[in-house]
A and B are shown apart, each in its own frame.
Chain A
């Protein structure tokens, strides 16, 4: 059974204080690892897809990396508008496009 674990559960940052979120996964036949951002009361918003170990993708202050066992989401010089819950999910094997999510990391960036 696919498993995804995110840490930490919550992160409080000062504006400009860079940090990293961790996503550890155990799957059989990874097809893609996804990062989503979710604001309170809204649906997840797609950020990145990573396909193979060593791959990196960037978007503004966010950078996602992938190894064979985990993924990191680096937030560089965050701003208050980066405050959200960040969700990691995997698609694997022959399970259609089912996503298995981790529990998320709640990020609060204080000005």
Chain B
């Protein structure tokens, strides 16, 4: 079975540009979350979507946006890139996305973004 797939795996952008990262969840999973991981640190929560609705947003500027499509795949968009946006962007999917119980998140391999 395919796990969480992300594309592209690596990309290089310059300051001020825009980037779109894509994520396909595990088949049957209805929730997708995005995390930013700077080198040497733990992942930081950016967004969660469940059943195509935003269910949570982390402490990131409005330059970051996301959406979930009817097939439950997702896109993360970042505008006006800054050097500090260089990081590994992780997508995670889970069967459910509500606040009942503990939901295990399965992570993809990530998209490595370098901003020059």
Contacts and interface: CB of A to CB of B under 8 A. Distances in A.
Interface of A: 4, 6, 31-32, 34, 36, 41-46, 49, 51, 87, 89, 91, 93-104
Cβ-closest 7 pairs across A and B? A32-B102, A101-B42, A43-B107, A97-B103, A96-B55, A94-B99, A96-B56
Contacts of B33: 97-99
Contact of B56 (A4, A34, A98, A101): A98
Interface residues of B, number: 33
A3 to B, nearest CB: 12
B102 A43 contact: no
25 contacts: A32-B102, A32-B103, A34-B102, A43-B4, A43-B90, A43-B109, A44-B43, A46-B104, A89-B42, A91-B103, A95-B56, A95-B99, A96-B31, A97-B33, A97-B96, A97-B98, A97-B99, A97-B105, A99-B33, A99-B35, A99-B45, A99-B92, A100-B45, A102-B42, A103-B41
B98 A96 contact: yes
A44 B104 contact: no
Interface of B: 4, 31, 33, 35, 40-45, 48, 50, 55-56, 58, 90, 92, 94, 96-99, 101-110, 112
Which of A97, A98, A101 has the most chain B CB atoms inside 10 A of its CB?
Answer: A97
A97 B90 contact: no
A73 B29 CA distance: 29
Nearest to A6: B42
Contacts of A89: 42
A31 B99 contact: yes
Contact of B102 (A31, A41, A102): A31
A45 to B, nearest CB: 7
Contacts of B41: 103-104
B10 to A, nearest CB: 10
Contact of A97 (B4, B31, B108, B112): B31
Nearest to A50: B102
A35 to B, nearest CB: 11
